[in-house]
Amino acid sequence: MLRKRLIWQLFPSQLIITLIALMIAAGYGAYSLRTFQLAQTAAGLEARARLAQEHVLALLAEKNLTALRNFCTTAGKKSGTRLTVTALDGKVLADSDEEPGRMENHGGRPEIIAALAGRPAPFIRFSHTLQENMMYVAVPLLHNGKNLGVLRTAIPITFIDSALREIFLRIVWGCLLVALLVALVAWFIAQRISRPLEEMRLGAERFADGAFTSKLREEGAEEVASLARAMNAMADQLDTRLKTIARQHSQLQAVFSSMVEGVITVDTEERILDINQAGARLLNLDPEKLRGKNALMAVRNLTLQRFISRTLAEANPIEGEIDLTGRGQEKYFYAHGARFQDAAKMTSGAIIVINDVTSLRRLENMRRDFVANVSHELKTPITSIEGFAETLLDGALDTPEDARRFVEIIATQAKRLHAIIEDLLALSRLEQEQEQTRLALTEEMIIHPLRRAIEICELKAAEKKISIELVVPADLTAALNGPLFEQALTNLIVNAIKYSDEGGRVLVRAGEREGGKIAVEVQDFGAGVAPQHLPRLFERFYRSDAARSRKLGGTGLGLAIVKHIVQAHGGEVGVTSELGRGSTFTILLAPKKAYVC
């Protein structure tokens, strides 16, 4: 759209308004002058008629028409006025310019009618006799109260139009001169108004270029000066804020560059906006070659790309591990991701902070090896073996039937202990091989490992007079490694017994949930666990209450073993707890079709 400059919007409008005003004033003046001139002419005609009225009455009373006609001719020529005398019936008796006998009856003329009615008035019309516009005024001829006729005076108004035309021409020239002066003044005023605004435009462009020290002159009208002051104040504020932003940016850039952690920022299209030196070093990439590229194409790692997508999709910050192992190197990163928003509260990108946890992962592998080496000392079946052995020593040997049954259980648990250790060692080997193979699973009624686990724990429960309740559909099946799954259940039940009050109860239930998943829950009604401990309960050697755990014989490995057994089954384990009301441990096994047996 073509925009006009302010001066070309102000100047023409002012000039047009002035011209219109002058034209209206000139027209009104000409009209008023003509009206005044006509009124003066009419008054003059009536005065001439009054002056000649007495002489005409005398001649008319004597009925001396010849003398009357001679008088009208002589007086008309001397005064430059046409004199006409008519009878009451409109017949022309005398006329200064024409032979009365050849003139038509004037009884219907408006000025004659007005005079006979006693209301003399001027009338203007075209005279066919003289072939020009004339003004007529007639007065009645009264003698001793009797009306003898009408005396009419007339004069051409051509001279009035000529005089008015000359006057109007002078008015036009005067208006043109005034218009020229007004144009000059309007141009000057428009310049006075537009020039400061033009300077402000140039000043604003200088401000836009960062030249905040070049101030605008605060002059002219108060409104313009106020605007200049406001723009100068704005320039000072912008200068201060930009310097602050530059300083903060420099500080942030220094922090950004000196961070040990890798920091990556991406837009909503997952294009890399920026990456610090630490991040480029961790990824073994050139930061200049990464900016502006899609994260997947730049890093060529699907795990990182999925983490970025999750970060952009989640409203809350997320975290997780990223495996960049490959190309002859072993790398693991722990990543934190969060979205950031623009001024309109719209997601404009995300920031990813990565930490190299390769060394920590190696230490974790070492801990797994350690657990594998000492797992035979920590297996729950040992408790069962010790319990039955003590029972035999306490007198059960004197009862051959009970003694044989207890010895058979001890032998079974010893074999089972050996099998569990072998399976744990196999599980450890699977974890060391990056879980490239799956645990051998078989379809089994889930009630069987549940009953075996409860049977193992009955003696320990009896010591605290704790009842163990089992709620499970008889036909519920799942793909399991029986001994390992039984071990996990036994650890959970033993844990529930430990933290239950004497005379309490432990509830074991299983069922199918939405999506075909199998849920196994072990619930106690004991002391419960504080919320801050829940996220770390399944860590190796972690104790929520170290003193109580040692007193109860805990090693801090039971729940960690449960977690790894469940993960080996392709499932997940979780816990919910409330202080004073107990805890519920839940094992979720994937649907049967997800297993390869």
Chain centre to alpha carbon of residue 432: 51
Q: Please indicate, yes or no, if residue 158 is contained in any of the structural domains.
A: yes
Same domain, 470 and 431: yes
Q: Which of 162, 196, 220 finishes a domain?
A: 162
C-alpha to C-alpha distance for 272 and 292, rounded to whole angstroms? 5
Q: What SS3 string covers 157-193? A: CHHHHHHHHHHHHHHHHHHHHHHHHHHHHHHHHHHHH
| Residues 347, 444 within the same domain | no
Last residue of one domain, picked from the residues 107, 133, 162: 162
The amino acid at residue 199 is E
Task: State how far the Cα of 9 lies from the Cα of 21, in Å rounded to an integer.
Answer: 19
Q: Last residue of some domain: 162, 179, 208?
A: 162
* Domain match, 424 and 322 both: no
pLDDT score at 375: 57
For residues 333 and 373, membership in a common domain is answered with: no
Judgement on whether residues 347 and 316 belong to the same structural domain of the protein: yes
Among 238, 237, 201, 193, CA closest to 219: 193
Q: Are residues 396 and 516 in the same domain?
A: yes
> Using only C-alpha atoms, what is the Rg of the chain?
60
pLDDT per residue as tens, the chain (597 positions): 455 555 566 667 767 777 787 788 777 877 787 788 788 888 888 888 888 888 888 888 888 888 888 888 888 888 888 888 888 888 888 888 888 888 888 888 888 888 888 888 888 887 776 677 888 888 888 877 788 888 889 888 777 777 777 777 877 787 788 778 877 777 777 677 667 777 777 777 777 777 777 777 776 666 777 878 888 888 888 888 888 888 887 787 777 667 778 888 888 888 888 888 788 777 777 777 777 778 777 777 788 888 888 888 888 888 888 887 765 567 888 888 898 887 777 888 888 888 888 877 777 765 665 565 455 444 557 777 888 888 878 877 778 887 888 888 888 777 767 755 654 564 465 455 435 556 678 888 999 999 999 999 998 899 889 999 999 998 899 888 888 888 889 989 988 998 888 889 999 999 988 878 899 999 999 888 888 888 878 776 566 664 455 455 444 567 877 887 888 788 899 999 988 889 999 999 877 644 433
Number of structural domains found in the chain = 3
- Say yes or no: 469 and 556 in one domain: yes
pLDDT at 376: 41
Residues 585 and 469 in one domain: yes
Considering the domain boundaries, does residue 208 fall inside one?
no
442 within some domain: yes
Give, in order, the Cα–Cα distances in Å from 324 to each of 282, 284, 301.
Answer: 10, 11, 7
Is there a single domain that holds both residue 330 and residue 367? no
Is 583 found in the same domain as 437? yes
Q: Clarify whether residues 383 and 473 are in a common domain.
A: yes
Identify each DSSP E strand in 46-122 by its residue range.
82-86, 92-95
Asked if residue 484 lies in contact with residue 561, where contact means CB atoms within 8 angstroms, the answer is no
Boundaries of domain holding 551: 363-594
Helices 158-208 & 222-258 angle (0-180, nearest 10) = 20
233 occurs within a structural domain? no
CATH value at residue 472? 3.30.565.10
**pTM score:** 0.36
- For residue 470, is it within any domain? yes
CATH classification of the domain holding 264: 3.30.450.20
* Exposure of 368 in the CB half-sphere (CA atoms within 13 A): 20
Q: Residue 540's pLDDT is what?
A: 61
Whether 198 is in a domain gets the answer no
In a domain, 14, yes or no: yes
Residue 373, SS3 per DSSP: helix
Kindly state whether residue 241 falls inside one of the protein's structural domains: no
C-alpha dihedral sign at 216, 217, 220, 223: positive
Q: Which residues are registered as beta bridge partners of 466? A: none
337 bridge partner residues: 318, 352
Which one, of 506, 484, 503, 453, lies nearest residue 562 by Cα?
484
Let me know: does 499 contact 527? Beta carbons within 8 Å.
yes
Same domain, 320 and 389: no
